[in-house]
């Protein structure tokens, strides 16, 4: 090791943000292990890298004794005084040793340590970046499928789309660009593990923020989302500006805004309804596209009895009860739907 090596460490410090002193200390510790592995584990050694020249020196730590029983760990008082005239029996003294071929071992070890620390630093940078991006929307390219997990390349790192977070029956083709919701970022021994989702309601929220400027700017607010991924979503919106129609803003001219989101979700139906602080009105809106005649509210039990025209009953309930189920989830009310002639 030499001055060029130290200069390389300084460059790494600038490029990767890894403190040069921490790198040198890590190399020194690794060299102690390498020394013991190659020259015997019974010795107490200390290794010093000169911060100015890069020169590596090996010191054997020996206890000063009157009578030496183990030359690897002990040194006589007479020999010790040749190094330091002030030493006394019982002191620990550093004796420089020059092991054969240690220069080559030191160079290899230093390289391994530096490479390992660079990897660790890069992993930490990725972790710190994505730890702050949980609940964000990111775009990547589908790389492959491993044990039903879809692996997506985000450029700096790969993320995992597990089966539980996939949209049912959605096909994930290698090479396709895809938008995903960052669900969780965890530190592991192999680096950050980033889990993403296509089925989370948060994906809908982020897609609308991306497509609808009024939502991004805070003029239109998403109050609630109820989703059955791959099939249907209901989203309740409210405008803070009475001059802005929240539903119209989300639908867009000729439906272009919502259609972009539907296309991204491969045809998932999206009902955009107007939120209201009046529970009866809110529930009535939530059952769209069905027409509602009357809503009776039970505040204490948070239940609602809804009357619909006879010909609207199946529409209000929806296929396999989906419309009513999503409306209940969206509003937070238990909804009982009855046809007019049986009310």
| Residue pLDDT tens, the chain, 343 long | 678 888 888 888 888 778 888 888 888 888 888 888 887 766 788 888 888 888 888 888 889 998 888 888 888 998 899 989 998 999 999 888 888 878 788 888 888 888 888 888 888 888 888 888 899 999 999 999 999 999 999 988 899 999 999 999 999 999 999 999 999 999 888 888 999 999 999 999 999 999 999 999 999 999 999 999 999 999 999 999 999 999 999 999 999 999 999 999 999 999 999 999 999 999 999 999 999 999 999 999 999 999 999 999 999 999 999 999 999 999 999 999 999 876 5
Q: For strand 269-274 and strand 232-239, is the pairing parallel, antiparallel, or unpaired?
A: parallel
- 35 inside domain: yes
Same domain, 86 and 152: no
* pTM, to two decimals: 0.72
| Percentage of residues of the chain with pLDDT beyond 70 | 98
Residue among 226, 227, 229, 209 nearest 218 (CA)? 209
pLDDT tens figures, 98-155: 888 787 888 888 888 888 888 888 888 888 888 888 999 999 999 999 999 999 999 8
Distance CA 60, CA 72 (A): 8
E runs forming strands in 147-188:
149-153, 158-161, 177-188
Range(s) of the domain holding residue 52: 3-128
- Domain boundary among the residues 182, 197, 212 is at 197
Q: Which two tokens stand for residue 107?
A: 């160079």
- Domain boundary among the residues 100, 128, 156 is at 128
E runs forming strands in 43-106:
45-49, 56-65, 74-76, 92-97
Residue among 273, 309, 310, 301 nearest 289 (CA)? 273
Distance CA 226, CA 216 (A): 20
Residue among 207, 238, 244 nearest 222 (CA)? 238
Mean pLDDT, the chain, rounded, equals 91
- What is the rounded radius of gyration, in angstroms, for the C-alpha atoms of the chain? 34
Distance CA 20, CA 30 (A): 15
Specify whether the CB–CB gap between 96 and 57 falls below 8 A: yes
Q: How many domains does the chain have?
A: 3
Same domain, 43 and 96: yes
Same domain, 81 and 37: yes
Same domain, 119 and 141: no
Q: Which pLDDT belongs to residue 343?
A: 53
Q: Which pLDDT belongs to residue 229?
A: 96
């Amino acid at each position: 090791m030499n001055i060029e090596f130290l200069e390389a460490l300084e460059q790494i410090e600038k490029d990767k943000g890894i403190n040069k002193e921490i790198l040198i200390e890590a190399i020194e510790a690794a060299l102690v292990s390498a020394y013991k592995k190659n020259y015997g584990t019974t010795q107490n050694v200390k290794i010093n890298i000169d911060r100015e020249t890069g020169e590596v020196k090996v010191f054997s730590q020996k206890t000063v004794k009157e009578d030496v029983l183990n030359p690897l760990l002990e040194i006589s008082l007479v020999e010790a005084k040749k190094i330091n005239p002030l030493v006394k029996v019982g002191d620990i003294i550093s004796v420089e040793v020059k092991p054969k071929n240690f220069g080559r071992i030191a160079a290899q070890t230093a390289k391994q340590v530096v490479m390992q620390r660079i990897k660790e630093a890069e992993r930490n940078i990725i972790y710190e970046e994505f730890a702050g991006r949980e609940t964000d929307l990111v775009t990547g390219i589908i790389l492959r499928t491993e044990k039903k997990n879809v692996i997506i390349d985000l450029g700096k790192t790969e993320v995992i789309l597990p089966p539980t977070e996939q949209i049912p029956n959605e096909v994930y083709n290698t090479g396709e660009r895809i938008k995903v919701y960052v669900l969780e970022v965890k530190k592991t021994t192999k680096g950050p593990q980033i889990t993403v989702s296509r089925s989370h309601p948060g994906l809908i929220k982020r897609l609308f923020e991306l497509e609808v400027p009024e939502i991004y700017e805070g003029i239109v607010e998403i109050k609630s989302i109820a989703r059955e991924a791959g099939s249907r979503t209901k989203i309740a919106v409210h405008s803070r500006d009475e001059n802005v129609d929240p539903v119209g803003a989300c639908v867009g001219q000729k439906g272009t805004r919502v259609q972009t989101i539907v296309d991204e979700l491969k045809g998932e139906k999206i009902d955009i309804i107007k939120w209201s602080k009046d529970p009866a009105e809110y529930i009535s809106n939530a059952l769209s596209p069905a027409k509602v005649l009357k809503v009776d509210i039970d505040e204490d039990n948070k239940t609602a009895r809804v009357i619909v025209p006879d010909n609207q009953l199946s529409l209000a309930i929806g296929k396999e009860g989906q419309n009513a189920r999503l409306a209940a989830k969206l509003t937070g009310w238990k909804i009982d739907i009855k046809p007019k002639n049986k009310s």
